[in-house]
Amino acid sequence: MRTLTPTDGVRAVKISQSWSRLSREGGRSLERLTDRALVRQVREELYPFSPYLRERLDARGFEPRRFRGQGDLPALPLSTLEELRATDPNELILRPTPGAMKAAWPFGRKLALVLAGRRGAGLLSQAYAPLLTTREEGLEVTWTASDLELIGELGARVLSLCGLCRGADLVSHLGEEPSCARLLLEHGAERLGARITEDAEAPYHAVLAEEAGHHLAEARTLLVFGSPAAELAEEAARRGTRIATLRVFGAVRQVAVQVEGDAGLRFFPDYVAAETLDSHTLETLPPGEPGELVLTPLVGHGTALLRYRTGLRMRLDRTPRPPLGSLPRICPLSLS
Number of H helices, E strands in the chain: 10, 14
Report the C-alpha gap between 102 and 110 in whole angstroms: 7
pLDDT at residue 45 tops 70: yes
Contact predicate 36/228, CB 8 Å: no
Which of 85, 82, 83, 104 shows the shortest CA–CA distance to 95?
104
Read off the pLDDT band of 5 (50, 70, 90): very low
Contact predicate 326/24, CB 8 Å: yes
Read off the pLDDT band of 8 (50, 70, 90): very low
pLDDT at residue 179 tops 70: yes
Report the C-alpha gap between 128 and 300 in whole angstroms: 9
Per-range mean pLDDT, top range of 20-34, 168-182, 290-304: 290-304
CATH 1.10.510.10, applies to 11-335? no
For residue 275, give the 3-state DSSP assignment: strand
Report the C-alpha gap between 271 and 21 in whole angstroms: 14
50-90 pLDDT tens trace: 999 999 999 999 999 999 999 999 999 999 999 999 999 99
Report the C-alpha gap between 230 and 251 in whole angstroms: 28
Mean pLDDT of 216-242: 71
Helix-, strand-, coil-residue percentages of the chain, each rounded to 5: 40, 25, 35
Distance set, CA 46 to CA 250, 296, 308 (Å)? 19, 11, 14
Mean pLDDT of 138-152: 95
Contact predicate 22/318, CB 8 Å: no
pLDDT at position 26: 82
**What is the pTM (predicted TM-score) of this model?**
0.87
* Of the candidate ranges 11-25, 42-56, 256-270, the one whose mean pLDDT is the lowest: 11-25
